[in-house]
Amino acid sequence: MRAHMEKSQNEQRQLEERLRQAHKMEAVGRLAAAWRTISTICSRSSGHSDLLIDREGSDNFHRRCVEQIQKAAGRAVSMTRQLLAFSRMQVLQPA
């Protein structure tokens, strides 16, 4: 009888742990979805900044500003890849 109760308690703890883990992964998945949206916005910003550089020509001040936009967008995309890989528990290959 005692062994049966201990087994039930162990099974209960294991189920609770699995549920906690599932909740954590669900939260990470939601966060990853939000980052995917941000990544899409950054990709569009990067594309538009390419157009601005072509349009602005050699104006150094504006060109540097637009290049900063491109760098920030690139960092955001990289962070998104890392977060998505984490949510899937994948190992990233260098880009």
The predicted structure's pLDDT at residue 79: 81
pLDDT tens digit sequence for 18-76? 888 888 888 877 877 787 788 788 878 878 888 887 776 667 888 888 888 888 888 88
Has this prediction a pTM greater than 0.85? no
Decide: helix, strand or coil at residue 1.
Answer: coil
Displacement of CA 35 from its chain's centroid (Å):
5
pLDDT tens digit sequence for 10-19? 888 999 998 8
Rg of the chain's alpha carbons, rounded to an integer?
23
